[in-house]
Amino acid sequence: MLKLEHQTLNDRAYGALKQELISGRFSPGQVLVIRKLAETFGTSTTPIREALQRLVAERLLEMKNNRSIIVPLLSASTFEELTRIRIAVEGLAGEMAASRMTEGALTEISAALAGMRKAVESGDARAYLTLNEHFHFIIYRQAGAPILLNLIRDLWGRAGPYLTLLMEADSYIARSNDAHSKIVAALEQGNGPAVRVSIDNDIRVAAAVLVGILPRMG
């Protein structure tokens, strides 16, 4: 975790905590302790407290009756709804990106895929998840749709804490890059509908694994 700079500290604290959710560095059900987070990010407790309250207001975090703040535990029905929305908006972003993809972005996406393959071979779950996030958001940024991109970031803020669990499932690891390879091929061809189908498949495969885990976490 990076130390925060002192400029616009409240916004930086909010951005840093939201990125932790997106990147899966917080776990479902984890209690977030203000003082510990302040120590981690090298700041006072006030900006952390305000950032957490902002994330609670956005429902990316949950405040319990005892005033503790936790990473939400999603019910199966909530997770299914989240998955359907992600398929719709991320598929749209991928389809839009296909016609705007630059050579540099394609190179970066291909490099991320190569890194994910190596991470699977070496069993490096954290590297895989970091590269997976990088892979997807290179694509989504190429869509040139900032409102859509912000919506996707919010959805990943809800889904991110669960993605780490994927790397504990052998059934997922074996096929973790199948859809990614098809996404790259479709982007190279500029085939927007095919990109959308492959993103749909990528999200569905991961969700099918996670749905089996949810009942054990409630």
Neighbours of 120 (CB within 10 A): 17
Residue 193's DSSP bridge partners are none
Evaluate whether 62 touches 70 at the Cβ level (below 8 Å). yes
pLDDT of 173 reads 80
Using alpha carbons only, give the angle 202, 184, 24 rounded to the nearest 5 degrees.
45
pLDDT tens across 143-158, in order? Answer: 999 999 999 999 999 9
Q: Which domains does the chain have, with CATH numbers?
A: 9-70 (1.10.10.10), 76-216 (1.20.120.530)
Residue 3 has pLDDT above 70, yes or no: no
Cβ atoms of 86 and 76 closer than 8 Å? no
Longest dimension (CA), the chain: 54
Helix extents (H) in 71-191? 76-98, 103-122, 125-142, 146-166, 170-173, 178-189
User: Which pLDDT tens digit goes with each residue over 165-196?
Assistant: 888 877 788 788 999 999 999 999 999 999 99
Band of residue 5 on the pLDDT scale cut at 50, 70, 90: low
For residue 46, pLDDT over 70 is answered with yes
pLDDT band of residue 4 (cuts 50, 70, 90) is low
Confidence of residue 217 (pLDDT cuts 50, 70, 90): low
pLDDT tens digits, 121-133 = 998 989 999 999 9
- What number of helices (H) and strands (E) belong to the chain? 10, 3
* Residue pLDDT, tens place only, 58-92: 999 999 999 999 999 999 999 999 999 999 999 99
